[in-house]
Structure 1
Amino acid sequence: MCFLKKSFITIIQLSLVLTSASGLAHQKQQVNEKTSKGKPNIVWLVSEDNSSHYLAHFFKGGAKAPNIEALAETGITFDNAFSNGAVCSVARTTLATGVYAPKLAAQYHRKMAHSEPKNGFKFFHQYLREAGYFTANNAKTDYNILIDDNGWSKSKRKSSWQDREHTEQPFFYMESKSHTHEGSLHFKKMTPEKLGHDPKAVTLPDYLQDTEISRYTYAHYLDRMVAMDDWVGSVVSKLAKDNLLDDTFVFYFGDHGGVLPRSKGYLFDSGLRVPLVVHIPKNYAHLTDFKQGSRTAGIVDFVDLSATAINLAGIPIPEHLDGTPFLGVNTSAKMVAESDESIAYADRFDEKVDLIRSLRKGKYLYNRNYQPHLPHGAQNQYRYRQMAYRDWREQYQLGKLNAAQSQFFEPKQLEELYDVENDPHQVNNLAGKAEYKALLVNLRQSLQRQLKAMPDLGFYPESYLLTHAFENPTTFSQQQQKDIAKLITIADMALQPFDQVKQRLAKLLTSKDVMQQFWAIKTAATFKQQAKSLSAQITALLKADNPYVKYAAAEYLAQVEQSNMTDTLIALLNATNNEIFAVEVMGSLTFYQMYYGKNYQVDPSKINLQVESTLNIRNQLKFFTQQFNAS
């Protein structure tokens, strides 16, 4: 569901809501006379790293999952459910807060520091606890923010609804399991004789090369889906044994997409579309007009899940939540069916730095790449532990891939537009086709408005946010909303002809606002050879006092003038006391070394860090050392 959707309800929809609310209120009065308590229980069962593509209930070729399918028979299947972030800590931060992560400076994975919202900011389950719910979590949290009260009555392994004070106390229970986590594909050898699924029978996506490793990995992952389904069945059986299913909404969903190559971490359906099935309890069927066994194509996403839980509990929805409930009073199946938008974000993933935003509108997916020179397949130590990832990169380096399979390792386009129905794996970019121009512009402008309204803190470097925003991101974002809008406008000058923006860019290069200078340089770099008229002015900025301006200037000169900026970047790296800035600069060094050849080789002996050696930094140093020793 779209950002600020609460503000865009039409008169017709409002009429439907009021009519629905009146009918539901009457039904609720009747049903509550027959039930023993006034509030439903709510259970979230969350599997890790799996998109809905791997389940036959959602897509042909997926694994059979009888327990999830049984839940669907007594509830609702959401065919278009999306995570707003394509990686776990970012996705789970949105789940726990009901707020878009870039509003909280919490869109980075793995966090190198916690963002700390103030002024009474709460996790959504804290509202449930304050309303009398027992809130139990078993046991993963993985949030990118830190607040005084984590909202849980109990959060540890083996936590259970059975721990509540008395059997009449309503509960919210969340359990996560890692059967399908990315780590399950970090095997070191193939053992096809042990598989339950036949590698020869799987259908690979268009973007992935057809090799023995790819097929084995896919089949192996389908086996993991079966194990995950067994877990879902075991939890539902425990609820049934405790005579709770008639009083409990049971949500099963994945925490984001994954986990074969080009899924987890990337803003395609393979990284964002999640399985979502909700069991409707008999005693609280009045809280929705969905029928048992129904399916809906309406788009729902993670910011909607917390609002839905709060609404089911009969609690007023806090104003700061970004989502809209899709179950409970004042909702209807018709309204859900008409919902057709979701936005998503991808930023730093471990040591891999990027900035991408997307808007899903009906059957179309629009992606905006703000750092198009960076390939999706850039180095990430954790990512390339997977044999299928390493094999894919090796096949690319050997020139054995077709165009669709090579896209992952090549520079991105500024904009991407996909017809997901006709191009389910998003390999045919329609952004440059004349017949789609009006649609492209419409989606572009809609995304621009939503990012400015959010406001999206991702347009400041993460290292800048560490020192300026992490201690109180909500206040900072509101104070800087107008400035953020200006930065987005500067970034989107890249979408106009260079002749129309070069004078404005030249003026912005002299701005006293460091971030405006920073984005003017980055935008100029997207024009490549067209921007050479600005090169002298940008070269002079290598002498600027501000490290962000120097950093952007060095990147511009490497991309536009093909200048070897390795020593300049190493000097910036050695001079900083900001560990996140060090990761950002090292990311650039890694990119130039991988894609610009041996002349950009990094000599690890020249790196003399002034910052703590975190995991991300150690991963990059390890890469530099391996490459240097191999040269």
Structure 2
Amino acid sequence: MGGFSIDRRSAIVGAGGAVLSGLASAQAAARAGGGTSGSASRPNILWLVSEDNNPFIGAYGDKIAHTPNIDRLAREGVLYRNAYSNAPVCAPTRFAILTGIYPESCGPAHQMRAKAHLPSQLRTYPEHLRSAGYFCSNNHKTDYNCDVEPERIWSDQGKTAHWRDRPDRNQPFMSVFNYMTTHESRLLTPVTGRVGPEDVRVPRYLPDTDGIRGDYATYYNLMEKMDAQVGQQLAELEEDGLDEDTIVFYYSDNGGSLPRSKRYCYDEGLRCALIVRFPEKWKHLAPGAPGSEVRAPVSFVDLVPTVLSLAGLAVPGTMQGSAFLGESAKAAQPYAFGMRNRMDERYDFVRTVTDGRYRYIRNYLPHLPAVQYQAFAWLARGYQDWDRAFRAGRLDALQSRAFEPRPAIEFYDLESDPDQLSNLAEDPGQQGRISEMSAALDAHMLRINDNGFIPEGLGLMGWAESRVPGAYPLQDIMQLAAMAAQGDPANLVLLGENMEHDHPVMRYWAAKGCAILGAAARANEERILTVMRGDDVPQLRVAAAEAAARIGHEEEAADILGALMAQSECEWVRLQAINVLTLMGEAARPALPEIKAAAESDTVYYRNAARYLSAVLDGTYDPAMEIFEWDRIMKHPKPGGE
């Protein structure tokens, strides 16, 4: 067995300790056609993908996790110690996994729940593999954040899709199985099991409450259930006699779903598990012996080039990731890059880079708190407890930090400070490393033509649109946005001049810079009011209204934002307007009629934002109130109601 565990074909232990023996072998043989894959030149590839989890896994050193099947996979394969999603949420990350392209390179794929246009020259990995003779099945989540039609790109797509449905048992396959068991939504119904609330460690940035402890315990117990599903899939592979022909990947699609993880550019939002097992037949493709680990950072945008490389296919030059296995494998990359822009109904703009030891974070909108109310996230008791404690003044400085404005730059030593509490951005001893990582991030953003600076809804956004020569002067925009984020009054003159720039994105970031400065931007009052009252790009009027409100023109800003909500045909302009009104708090009251009308909208994020703000202004808001309406957006049943 070439060093692999001798129990490769032994029974697999499930979550409850029961032994998973043969799983309907006669039926399996009938479906699979019996026997092993006849492909001698290309491996089968199996992806086992779990939802919303950090490495709460024994093989990664978690002492209370019970994940025997994933642990076994790690003993028999190669564990990637520093694996990262490209966004701390599913849809943008799944765009990257499908295409090998960063989502922010093909806007609006970088926004959570959007529909980017994928040009024909950017083929998806199942299309590449099917052209080479592979049978490709996906069971069953898609969520690709673009206009790709899943039924067109997959050989078999849906809840029953399986390698066993390939018409020829000798045909190589690429099969994907997605497990919703650990999805954020599953936290909403407490799950008892091996781990209890008293067993967990509450990170220092969270208050120690029953709700938070309960969510952590539920999460561990869901991880155990998901591990059993992984074991069952491996058992099916072995029963079909395909394990010696198949390279198996296990990974999670993004970081965890506990407070300050999913949606946030800290390690707990971006760091994932990744394990790859190679059978004896394909061990020459492995980067190390069974049970070894790789510490160099890898990123999920690298998965597509890697799969094509393992299949012996050329990696298209349009793909921005790098193969880390197979014939086309590149040298280890020094960094992994991450991002966030809009998450559901809330806007933000963060870019980050890590080498596995240090994390550099750039907040382009530092006047916003990292944690803003989001209707879906607040269904969880942990977020409710955290919010309630903050509003009651019961949090200490570390626990309340997430609800307050941020520094433009954050820098953390992940080895000595895994919870990322001590910002080393001003540490003299770290300035060389910070400069190096900042430069690497800038170079990356330019290389991929980052669309994140374009306000949502502006026609300039998109793979083709933003690449028209002269249409999107990214380097100039990046310099202005970085200056805006500094919040330095010394930049007032330049910000004011750029509010009259010919390019709308330059005007936008000049207005945002004035909003970040707040009252200190009063010297640019005339220009701010001119843009707010009459710019022909409504997104710029919203940005200028935010700046105007912060220099003392709250009533006029609220009136203009309310009018944009009532009159704009663009849902993103309306959403941007209500986000600014939310930041204004009580000063948003003149727009209350428009806010009340928006609370009845059919547009889910707009409606959720309006219902929250309406409750705040009415004095009826409570963190436990269910603003989110499950059945109007989610495609799977509400937990507990299945």
TM-score calculated relative to the size of structure 2: 0.86
The residue number in structure 1 matching 2:82 is: 80
Once the two structures are superposed, residues 309-350 of structure 1 have per-residue CA deviations (whole angstroms, 9 ceiling, x without a partner) of 000000000101111111112548xx44xx330111101111
Aligned-partner residue type, residue 158 of structure 2: K
Q: Give the distance between the partners of 1:185 and 1:536, measured in 2 at CA.
A: 50
* Cα distance, 1:69–1:373 mapped onto 2, change above 3 Å: same
Q: Give the distance between the partners of 2:256 and 2:374, measured in 1 at CA.
A: 16
* Cα distance, 1:562–1:428 mapped onto 2, change above 3 Å: farther
The residue number in structure 2 matching 1:623 is: 612
Secondary structure, in 3 states, of the residue corresponding to 1:183?
helix
Q: Give the distance between the partners of 1:577 and 1:273, measured in 2 at CA.
A: 38
How large is the Cα RMSD of the aligned pairs? Answer: 2.4
The residue number in structure 2 matching 1:392 is: 386
Please tell me whether the aligned partners of residues 304 and 325 of structure 1 are also in contact (alpha carbons under 8 angstroms): yes
Please tell me whether the aligned partners of residues 266 and 346 of structure 1 are also in contact (alpha carbons under 8 angstroms): yes
Please tell me whether the aligned partners of residues 87 and 109 of structure 1 are also in contact (alpha carbons under 8 angstroms): no
Secondary structure, in 3 states, of the residue corresponding to 1:418?
strand
The residue number in structure 1 matching 2:57 is: 55
Is 1:430 the equivalent of 2:424? Answer: yes
Distance apart, 1:35 and its partner CA? 8.6
Please tell me whether the aligned partners of residues 455 and 481 of structure 1 are also in contact (alpha carbons under 8 angstroms): no
Q: List alignment gaps of at least 5 residues for structure 2.
A: 1-36, 621-642
Once the two structures are superposed, residues 386-410 of structure 1 have per-residue CA deviations (whole angstroms, 9 ceiling, x without a partner) of 0110110111111111221111111
Once the two structures are superposed, residues 168-199 of structure 1 have per-residue CA deviations (whole angstroms, 9 ceiling, x without a partner) of 11000001011100001113xx68xx432121
Please tell me whether the aligned partners of residues 204 and 210 of structure 1 are also in contact (alpha carbons under 8 angstroms): yes
Aligned-partner residue type, residue 259 of structure 2: P
Q: 1:164 aligns with which of 144, 157, 166?
A: 166
Please tell me whether the aligned partners of residues 542 and 576 of structure 2 are also in contact (alpha carbons under 8 angstroms): no
The residue number in structure 2 matching 1:16 is: none
Q: Give the distance between the partners of 1:504 and 1:104, measured in 2 at CA.
A: 30
Q: 2:603 aligns with which of 585, 601, 614?
A: 614
Is 1:563 the equivalent of 2:554? Answer: yes
Is 1:447 the equivalent of 2:448? Answer: no
Distance apart, 1:147 and its partner CA? 3.5
Secondary structure, in 3 states, of the residue corresponding to 1:173?
strand
User: Matches of residues 539-558 of structure 1 in structure 2 within 5 Å?
Assistant: 539-546=529-536, 547-558=538-549
The residue number in structure 2 matching 1:140 is: 141
Please tell me whether the aligned partners of residues 303 and 322 of structure 1 are also in contact (alpha carbons under 8 angstroms): yes
Please tell me whether the aligned partners of residues 365 and 419 of structure 1 are also in contact (alpha carbons under 8 angstroms): yes
Is 1:353 the equivalent of 2:353? Answer: no
Please tell me whether the aligned partners of residues 93 and 106 of structure 1 are also in contact (alpha carbons under 8 angstroms): no
Once the two structures are superposed, residues 358-391 of structure 1 have per-residue CA deviations (whole angstroms, 9 ceiling, x without a partner) of 1113411111111112212212100101011011
Aligned-partner residue type, residue 273 of structure 1: R
Distance apart, 1:614 and its partner CA? 1.3
Distance apart, 1:591 and its partner CA? 2.7
Distance apart, 1:609 and its partner CA? 6.4
Q: Give the distance between the partners of 1:499 and 1:630, measured in 2 at CA.
A: 36
Q: Give the distance between the partners of 1:610 and 1:350, measured in 2 at CA.
A: 16
Q: 2:570 aligns with which of 574, 578, 581?
A: 578
User: Matches of residues 328-367 of structure 1 in structure 2 within 5 Å?
Assistant: 328-331=326-329, 335-336=331-332, 339-367=333-361
The residue number in structure 1 matching 2:579 is: 587
Once the two structures are superposed, residues 235-288 of structure 1 have per-residue CA deviations (whole angstroms, 9 ceiling, x without a partner) of 000000011111111000000011110000100110000011111111111122
Runs of 4+ aligned residues of structure 1 deviating over 6 Å after TM superposition are: 609-612
Aligned-partner residue type, residue 580 of structure 1: W
Q: Give the distance between the partners of 1:202 and 1:553, measured in 2 at CA.
A: 46
Please tell me whether the aligned partners of residues 541 and 553 of structure 1 are also in contact (alpha carbons under 8 angstroms): yes
Secondary structure, in 3 states, of the residue corresponding to 2:288?
coil
Secondary structure, in 3 states, of the residue corresponding to 2:80?
strand
Q: Give the distance between the partners of 1:183 and 1:630, measured in 2 at CA.
A: 28
The residue number in structure 1 matching 2:290 is: 292
Percent identity over paired residues: 31
Aligned-partner residue type, residue 274 of structure 1: C
Q: Give the distance between the partners of 1:480 and 1:94, measured in 2 at CA.
A: 26
* Cα distance, 1:261–1:503 mapped onto 2, change above 3 Å: same
The residue number in structure 1 matching 2:493 is: 503
Is 1:457 the equivalent of 2:455? Answer: no
Once the two structures are superposed, residues 507-565 of structure 1 have per-residue CA deviations (whole angstroms, 9 ceiling, x without a partner) of 21221222211111112332334433222332232222322332111111223447343
Please tell me whether the aligned partners of residues 574 and 607 of structure 1 are also in contact (alpha carbons under 8 angstroms): no
Is 1:420 the equivalent of 2:414? Answer: yes
* Cα distance, 1:391–1:350 mapped onto 2, change above 3 Å: same
The residue number in structure 1 matching 2:523 is: 533
User: Matches of residues 161-200 of structure 1 in structure 2 within 5 Å?
Assistant: 161-187=163-189, 194-200=192-198
Distance apart, 1:437 and its partner CA? 2.6
User: Matches of residues 27-106 of structure 1 in structure 2 within 5 Å?
Assistant: 37-52=40-55, 54-106=56-108
Once the two structures are superposed, residues 27-75 of structure 1 have per-residue CA deviations (whole angstroms, 9 ceiling, x without a partner) of xxxxxxx9961100001100000111x2122133441211001111111
Secondary structure, in 3 states, of the residue corresponding to 1:537?
helix
Please tell me whether the aligned partners of residues 379 and 591 of structure 1 are also in contact (alpha carbons under 8 angstroms): no
The residue number in structure 2 matching 1:240 is: 238
Q: Give the distance between the partners of 1:94 and 1:229, measured in 2 at CA.
A: 25
The residue number in structure 1 matching 2:312 is: 314
Q: Give the distance between the partners of 2:42 and 2:600, measured in 1 at CA.
A: 51
Q: List alignment gaps of at least 5 residues for structure 1.
A: 1-33
Once the two structures are superposed, residues 128-173 of structure 1 have per-residue CA deviations (whole angstroms, 9 ceiling, x without a partner) of 0100000000011101111467421111111110111211110000
Please tell me whether the aligned partners of residues 139 and 178 of structure 2 are also in contact (alpha carbons under 8 angstroms): yes
Q: Give the distance between the partners of 2:478 and 2:372, measured in 1 at CA.
A: 25
Is 1:326 the equivalent of 2:324? Answer: yes
Q: Give the distance between the partners of 2:613 and 2:106, measured in 1 at CA.
A: 33
Aligned residues: 581
Is 1:491 the equivalent of 2:489? Answer: no
Q: Give the distance between the partners of 2:234 and 2:169, measured in 1 at CA.
A: 18
Q: Give the distance between the partners of 2:489 and 2:382, measured in 1 at CA.
A: 44
Secondary structure, in 3 states, of the residue corresponding to 1:431?
coil
Distance apart, 1:487 and its partner CA? 1.2
Distance apart, 1:495 and its partner CA? 5.8
Aligned-partner residue type, residue 626 of structure 1: A
